[in-house]
């Protein structure tokens, strides 16, 4: 057996260079590169290996460990999980910073390889700098925090363990049913230790994404169920995009006149203009999808995890005779909602069911309902896009009862722009081929409702974990994935302040991204939630501490986000009027450097729910009669929710 003497870190780099992925006959490198923030826990180990011979791996310099891992996730998500980046950090706080990103990737089923440094396997220098000691268990390190948020976890305490660990890591990263974050922890001393690795460990490995076919029994049961229903509705989940099953899904829906609604992850698998597309569904869904959702007698979930937003906390599907068919590559998901289970690849399943159902001559019983629902929503959408603030006394119907502070905010921020009007301008002006990234706050709800996909793969929303701070980093990842498309991220002021460090990396790499920061001087989404449920504005508005009351109820805080972007080297703009916003967008489109558009927006002017519902853990006992009343109302609504 021929061997090659290498350090663990050198062997790891060589191994990563030899991993390929094949999908539908196309083969390419699986690991594009590695994001790094070097410290004493990885710089002289993995850092030395990358400096000496990175192979084809592109090495990027991150600024924040969570940020660079979110960029890696954004890259993999935009690539439909076909290619990934790895991320390496030092031990201690650097590793801990990546835990949030690991949870985000796992919640969304996106493959990301994390390579955190670790404490010494020998334990002889203990406790080393940044080492956390647990008196009761000397094997525990910061990296054990990755265990509950990763799909695969290992620690390389001996050089030969690298081989089985990396095979297991690749198995998980390329498994569409069980992918997510993978952590392979690298003790500082072991990274530099040498071992005679067998040559075959470095052979080219091709990981195939196989299209698993449904069994005959699965197809028969699904066909039997569909034939018994008159008004089915399909839900287009993220699995439609990752399976690249959109074309087959459209054939299925068109053949049998079945409308479809979109989850956050499924949006832009098809175009908004398709006559059977009802738009976003659920708690943050639009009027068209939620209207027909309450009436449907069969939900065909394709590649969806059925989050509480998709099901409106299992409340939306009100028809007493409603049943479910779940087409999903993951058995865990296909079992949800007590459904008829078609556990296999989405594209293959839809084709098989369509061919069989076609022979049966099936058609849904819809006549004019789909067209009418779309037309009603389009009228409402046009109203939202044109909604303008007219001064004192203005009560936007979309947020009825939450308007008392509008004039104060208008004066403090110097703006009269409503959030839905801004989104209307963006819909009109932004290049139809651009990618729009989002993750948290009120914008995901607004965008699932109002974003009109005019090109495929144009909507990039992380809403499995709704991680504040994902937006800027993932925009960089999406740009790395598709460098020829403009990339915009729409994010709130809270998310911008949470994490925007990878702006510096975008400047460094010459990868232009465009930030549209919606500054409403508050955590607007949660502010609306607490007020909707009978509370005040406690802890959600950005205000100075009042010297008289001792509370955070003083004047509003004004932040110049454009200046922050300018400090990074971005081209920046401040927009307080429609004219300023249009001018900024036009100029930003001409730039070759990353841009930041600081848009001052009135709070409480986002979209409202459209026949949606969301269950919250509300107080059953409170001094406020309003809160008690709201809790009682929720209990009544929960009687209509399905229970599984």
Encode pLDDT of 488-503 as tens digits.
999 999 999 999 999 9
Neighbours of 403 (CB within 10 A): 18
Q: Which CATH number fits domain 216-372: 3.90.1280.10, 3.40.50.850, 3.90.1300.10, 3.40.50.1220?
A: 3.40.50.1220
Predicted local distance difference test score (pLDDT) of residue 405: 74
- C-alpha distances in angstroms, 217 versus 222, 224, 401, 508? 9, 10, 53, 55
pLDDT at position 104 over 50: yes
Band of residue 618 on the pLDDT scale cut at 50, 70, 90: confident
Q: How many Cα atoms within 13 Å fall on the side-chain side of residue 268?
A: 24
CATH classification code of 3-208: 3.40.50.970
pLDDT in tens, 273-331: 999 999 999 999 999 999 999 999 999 999 999 999 999 999 999 999 999 999 999 99
Predicted local distance difference test score (pLDDT) of residue 403: 57
Predicted local distance difference test score (pLDDT) of residue 404: 62
- C-alpha distances in angstroms, 292 versus 277, 286, 317, 390, 396? 12, 11, 9, 34, 26
The CA-to-CA distance between both ends of the chain, in Å, stands at: 55
pLDDT in tens, 22-47: 999 999 999 999 999 999 999 999 99
pLDDT in tens, 573-590: 999 999 999 999 999 999
pLDDT at position 608 over 60: yes
For CATH 3.40.50.970, the residue range(s) in the chain are 3-208, 386-600
Predicted local distance difference test score (pLDDT) of residue 637: 84
3-class secondary-structure state, position 198: strand
Burial class from Cβ neighbours inside 10 Å (0-12, 13-18, 19+) for residue 56 reads exposed
Question: C-alpha angle 412/418/421, rounded to 5°?
Answer: 150
Per the document, the length of the chain is 644
Interhelix angle 65-78/93-108, nearest 10 degrees: 20
Q: Residues of the chain with pLDDT > 90: what percent?
A: 86
> 327 - beta bridge partners?
302, 342
User: For 132, which DSSP code?
Assistant: P
Band of residue 251 on the pLDDT scale cut at 50, 70, 90: very high
Task: Tell me how far apart the alpha carbons of residues 275 and 298 are, in angstroms, rounded to a whole number.
Answer: 20
pLDDT at position 356 over 80: yes
pLDDT at position 392 over 80: no
Q: Mean pLDDT across the stretch 521-550? A: 86
pLDDT at position 152 over 80: yes
Task: Tell me how far apart the alpha carbons of residues 203 and 206 are, in angstroms, rounded to a whole number.
Answer: 10
- Are 499 and 64 contacting, i.e. CB atoms less than 8 angstroms apart? yes
Question: C-alpha angle 517/523/528, rounded to 5°?
Answer: 120
- Are 218 and 212 contacting, i.e. CB atoms less than 8 angstroms apart? no
pLDDT in tens, 59-92: 999 999 999 999 999 999 999 999 999 999 999 9
CATH topology of domain 386-600: Rossmann fold (3.40.50)
Return mean pLDDT, the chain: 94
Predicted local distance difference test score (pLDDT) of residue 22: 97
Candidate from 68-82, 184-198, 250-264, 536-550 with smallest mean pLDDT: 536-550
- C-alpha distances in angstroms, 572 versus 514, 541, 592? 10, 25, 12
Predicted local distance difference test score (pLDDT) of residue 402: 52
For CATH 3.40.50.1220, the residue range(s) in the chain are 216-372
* Model-wide pTM > 0.85: yes
Task: Tell me how far apart the alpha carbons of residues 590 and 584 are, in angstroms, rounded to a whole number.
Answer: 10
Q: Which residue blocks in 267-387 are alpha helix, DSSP H?
A: 287-295, 308-311, 331-334, 346-359, 369-385
pLDDT at position 398 over 80: no
Task: Tell me how far apart the alpha carbons of residues 402 and 31 are, in angstroms, rounded to a whole number.
Answer: 49
- C-alpha distances in angstroms, 130 versus 62, 98, 120, 217? 20, 15, 12, 56
Predicted local distance difference test score (pLDDT) of residue 345: 97
Per residue, what are the HEC states of 482-516? CCCCCEEEEEEHHHHHHCCCCHHHHHHHCCCCEEE
Question: C-alpha angle 606/612/615, rounded to 5°?
Answer: 100
Task: Tell me how far apart the alpha carbons of residues 281 and 287 are, in angstroms, rounded to a whole number.
Answer: 8
């Amino acid at each position: 057996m021929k061997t090659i003497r290498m350090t663990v870190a050198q062997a790891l780099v060589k191994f990563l260079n030899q991993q390929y992925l094949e999908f539908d006959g196309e083969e390419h490198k699986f690991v594009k590169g590695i994001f790094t923030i070097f410290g004493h826990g990885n710089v002289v180990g993995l850092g030395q290996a990358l400096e000496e011979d990175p192979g084809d791996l592109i090495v990027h310099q991150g600024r924040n460990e969570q940020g660079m891992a979110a960029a890696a996730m954004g890259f993999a998500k935009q690539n439909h999980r076909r290619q990934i980046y790895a991320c390496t950090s030092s031990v201690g706080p650097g590793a801990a910073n990546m835990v949030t990103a690991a949870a985000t990737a796992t919640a969304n089923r996106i493959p990301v390889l994390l390579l955190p440094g670790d404490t010494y396997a020998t334990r002889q220098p203990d406790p080393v700098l940044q080492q956390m000691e647990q008196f009761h268990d000397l094997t525990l390190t910061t990296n054990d925090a990755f265990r509950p948020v990763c799909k695969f976890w290992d620690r390389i305490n001996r050089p030969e363990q690298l081989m089985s660990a990396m095979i297991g890591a690749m198995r998980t990263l390329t498994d569409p049913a069980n992918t997510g974050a993978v952590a392979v922890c690298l003790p500082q001393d072991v990274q530099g230790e040498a071992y005679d690795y067998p040559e075959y460990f470095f052979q080219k490995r091709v990981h195939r994404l196989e299209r698993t076919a449904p069994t005959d029994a699965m197809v028969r049961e699904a066909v039997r169920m569909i034939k018994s229903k008159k008004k089915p509705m399909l839900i287009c989940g993220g699995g439609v995009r990752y399976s690249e099953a959109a074309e087959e899904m459209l054939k299925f829906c068109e053949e049998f006149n079945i409308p479809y609604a979109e989850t956050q992850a499924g949006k832009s698998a098809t175009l908004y203009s398709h006559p059977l597309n009802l738009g976003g569904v659920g708690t943050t869904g639009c009027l068209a999808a939620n209207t027909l959702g309450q009436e449907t007698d069969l939900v065909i979930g394709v590649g969806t995890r059925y989050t509480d937003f998709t099901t409106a906390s299992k409340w939306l599907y009100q028809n007493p005779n409603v049943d479910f068919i779940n087409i999903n590559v993951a058995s865990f998901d296909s079992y949800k909602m007590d459904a008829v289970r078609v556990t296999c690849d989405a594209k293959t399943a839809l084709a098989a069911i369509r061919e069989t159902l076609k022979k049966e001559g099936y058609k849904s019983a819809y006549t004019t309902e789909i067209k009418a629902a779309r037309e009603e929503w389009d009228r409402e959408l046009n109203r939202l896009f044109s909604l303008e603030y007219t001064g004192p006394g203005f009560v936007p119907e979309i947020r009825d009862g939450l308007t008392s502070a509008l004039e104060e905010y208008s004066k403090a921020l110097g703006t009269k722009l409503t959030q839905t009007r801004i989104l209307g301008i963006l819909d009109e002006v932004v290049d139809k081929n651009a990618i729009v990234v989002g993750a948290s706050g009120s914008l995901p709800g607004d965008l699932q409702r109002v974003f009109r996909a005019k090109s495929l793969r144009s909507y990039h929303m992380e809403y499995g974990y709704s991680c504040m701070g994902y937006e800027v980093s993932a925009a960089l990842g999406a740009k790395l994935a598709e460098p020829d498309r403009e990339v915009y991220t729409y994010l709130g002021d809270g998310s911008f302040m949470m994490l925007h460090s990878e702006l510096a990396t975008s400047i460094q790499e010459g990868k232009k991204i465009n930030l549209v920061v919606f500054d409403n001087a508050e955590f607007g989404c949660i502010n609306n939630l607490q007020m909707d449920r009978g509370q005040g504005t406690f802890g959600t508005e950005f205000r100075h501490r009042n010297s008289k009351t001792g509370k955070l109820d003083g004047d509003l805080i004004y932040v110049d986000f454009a200046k922050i972007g300018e400090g990074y080297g971005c081209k920046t703009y401040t927009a307080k009027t429609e004219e300023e916003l249009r001018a900024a967008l036009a100029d930003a489109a001409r730039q070759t450097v990353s841009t930041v558009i600081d848009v001052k927006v009135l709070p409480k002017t986002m979209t409202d729910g459209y026949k949606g519902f969301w269950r919250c853990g509300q107080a059953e006992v409170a001094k406020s009669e309003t809160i008690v009343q709201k809790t009682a109302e929720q209990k009544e609504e929960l009687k209509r929710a399905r229970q599984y």
